[in-house]
Amino acid sequence: MGRHGPVHAGLGNHRKVPGTPSGLNVVSTLLEHNHNQPGDPAKAAAAIVTLAAVADPPLRIQLGADSVARVEAKLRLVQQELTTWRTLSVSTDHDTLNR
CA distance linking residue 44 with residue 4, whole number of Å:
28
Question: Residues of the chain with pLDDT > 90: what percent?
Answer: 55
Does the reported pTM lie above 0.85?
A: no
CA distance linking residue 50 with residue 69, whole number of Å:
22
Which pLDDT band holds residue 22 (cuts at 50, 70, 90)? low
Question: Residues of the chain with pLDDT > 70: what percent?
Answer: 74
Residue 65 or residue 24, greater confidence: 65
Instruction: Give me the chain's average pLDDT, please.
Output: 82
CA distance linking residue 59 with residue 98, whole number of Å:
31
